Each structure stands twice: as structure tokens, then as C-alpha cells.
Amino acid sequence: MNAVAQATPPAVEMKTMAAVAMALRDAMADDPRVVVMGEDIGAPGGSFRATRGLLDEFGPRRVIDTPISEASIVSAAVGAALSGLRPVVEIMFMDFVTLAMDALVNQAAKARFMFGGQCSVPMVLRTPHGGGLNAGPQHSQCLEVWLAHVPGLKVVCAATPGDAYALLRAAIRDPDPVVFVEHKGLYGAKGLVDRTAVDAIGKARIVRAGRDATVVTYGATVAASLEAARQLAGEGVEVEVIDLRSLQPWDRATVLGSLARTHRAVVVHEAVQAFGVGAEIAATLADEGFDDLDAPVVRVGAPFMPVPFAKSLEQGYNVGAAGIVAALRRTLE
């Protein structure tokens, strides 16, 4: 641990974006192999200013401004990782990951397997997803389930500043490629960050204990799920809320353990409902023999359509507490 981290109090309050920036700075200070790459990440600090100040501190050999070519950026990062560096790539919006799928899916994800475990690709791809900011259908998508479907990739998504810091540090330390998903709408959210925390990919967290039903969620819908739980608590219903934090691998033990207690499940995510994380969890419950639940598993997600640009339409498209409350009432009937 560097001297700055040792001198910092165990937990300080900051916004999510500041937590991401701090995780990058601390990782670069701790390990000279860590480099950051992306469009306008130097002096401007990237689209959301997560890398501002890193160029002055670490120089252009470790803070690498790239051309506007996602395919080239990720391809270069794969080569750098295979050569011994630990690159952290920033892709401005998750929608643009589509332009880098060959390097990410066909190269980074498969290198360890294809070379018989003789090499690895220790790279991180940071990218923001999600709606709520009227950014339109090409800048608001949640595509994390595409990447969670690919063997060889790990996918994490933080809901709090503390998890943003801890999970990003864990992703950078990981020997394999990790997609680190950030929600644009959470960049301004505040919370406590413990720079001494040691985290592990693949571990969920029960953020609210309950006995009557389980909500499994991640990212921005964690807050909406907690609000739904608070509303139902006024009626004497106690809802357990699980923040997955990691989508691939996901923490089956925590989810299945909760369902064994509550016997009711609602899975919530901002991505479209069809073929999503909720479908995988519902199928896993069937595979594991959870045929004694008190109600069918209910999924809550966005409708199967592009994200609307108009504010009024986007409000109806996004997953909120009201929809989660309605889903929980269905399980409790």
C-alpha cells in the first residue's frame, strides 16, 4: 500500500466518480505496470473526468490518449496485457463496446484457454451504461449480459462509491479480462469509501435483510429496490435486497441461501427484461430444484425496445420503485 493510502482515514465520503478516479490513481501508484488508455483521457479526463490529473501525475507513457477507434484501443490493450502491462481501457459509452467485440470477445476472453494457460490478459475495460440522462438509444444501453455470456470474461457493476473503489482495485489486480460497468446516473452519488478494503470479484452483498421476499439486483436499481423495500416495510412486509455486484461470476450461494429463507424472488435490472440476468437466475433456481417457492420468480426489467430519447418516454421506460413494488405484491398474493 502506498504512503497516501496509509495516511488516509479508513473511510471517507465521496462521489462515485471520485472513487473511480481514486482507485485508478492508487492502482497506478502501487503498480508501475498499470496504464490507462482511451479517448481524451489525458488533459480532459475522459467523458466524465475520471482520469483528470493522471496525465500530470504519471505522464504520457502511462496515460495514453488514443484515436477515436474502439477496436484499435481494445486491440492495443490486449497486446499490452499479453506483453506484461495491466491496461485499464475507458470506452466512453457501453454502446460503443460493440465496435470492440472482436478484440474483447475473440481475443482477450480466449487467450488463456487457447494458449493452454501459459498466458493471461490482465486488462480492465471501464465503460458507463444506463439511461435516465436523456442520452438517447445509442448512448444509454445496458449490454452487460452480452459480455457475461462470454466464457473468459468477468463482469462487475458497482452500485455505491465504496464498491466502485474496491471492485475496480480488484479488477485491476485480476489476472484475466474484467469488464467494469459504471452507471452514468450514479457518478454523482455519495457514499463512504474505505481505501483499505480488500474485495473479491464474485461476491454479492445483502444490503437489506428481510424475511418475506428476496430482490436480486445490481447497479442503479439497487437504490430503487431499497426504496421499494422501504415502502413495503410500512405495511409490515420485510424484503431482503441483494446487490449482486458481480454478474460473471455471480454469487449463487448468497442468492440461493436467501431464497431458501424467503421462498419468494424478484429479479430487477435496468437492462431489457428479455434474455437478461433475471432469466439466468430464474433458470438457475429451476436447475437447483427450487420447486417449493411460494410464488413464481418475477422479473423486472426494461421493455424490449430501444431507450427513448424524450424525457417523458424515458421515465416510463426506466425501472423504478413503483414497478418493483408491483412485482413484489404479485409474489406476495
Q: What tens digit of pLDDT does each residue of 258-316 get?
A: 999 999 999 999 999 999 999 999 999 889 888 778 999 999 999 999 999 999 999 99
- Position 6 scores a pLDDT of 52
> Average pLDDT, stretch 84-89?
98
pLDDT of 1 above 70: no
280 catalytically annotated = no
Q: 59: how many CB neighbours lie within 10 A of its CB?
A: 9
270 in helix, strand or coil? strand
In terms of pLDDT, which residue wins out, 292 or 29?
Answer: 29
Residue 48 has pLDDT above 60, yes or no: yes
Q: Please give the Cα distance from 161 to 190 (Å, whole number).
A: 7
Predicted pLDDT at 5: 46
Q: Please name every residue paired with 191 in a beta bridge, in sequence order, or none if there are none.
A: 14
**Is 329's pLDDT higher than 60?**
yes
**128: number of Cβ within 10 Å:** 28
For this structure, is 70 an active site residue? yes
3-state secondary structure (DSSP) of residue 300: strand
Q: Which pLDDT tens digit goes with each residue over 105-119?
A: 999 999 999 999 999
Which spans in 10-125 are helix H?
16-30, 54-58, 70-82, 101, 111-114
Cis peptide bond N-terminal to 249, omega within 30: yes
Q: Which of 199, 240, 201, 245 is nearest to 219 (CA)?
A: 245
Query: Of all residues in the chain, what percent carry a pLDDT higher than 70?
Result: 97
Average pLDDT of 142-146? 96
Half-sphere exposure of 300 (CA within 13 A, CB side): 29
pLDDT of residue 47: 81
CA 287/CA 77 separation, integer angstroms: 38
Q: Which of 48-52, 56-60, 161-165 has the lowest mean pLDDT?
A: 48-52
* Cβ proximity of 300 and 323 under 8 Å: yes
At residue 9, the pLDDT reads 64
Choice among 70, 90, 144, 240 that is catalytic: 70
Domains of the chain in start order, with CATH, are 11-193 (3.40.50.970), 205-332 (3.40.50.920)
Mean pLDDT within 62-78:
97
Over range 209-215, report the average pLDDT.
98
Residue of 39, 90, 139, 144 marked active site: 139
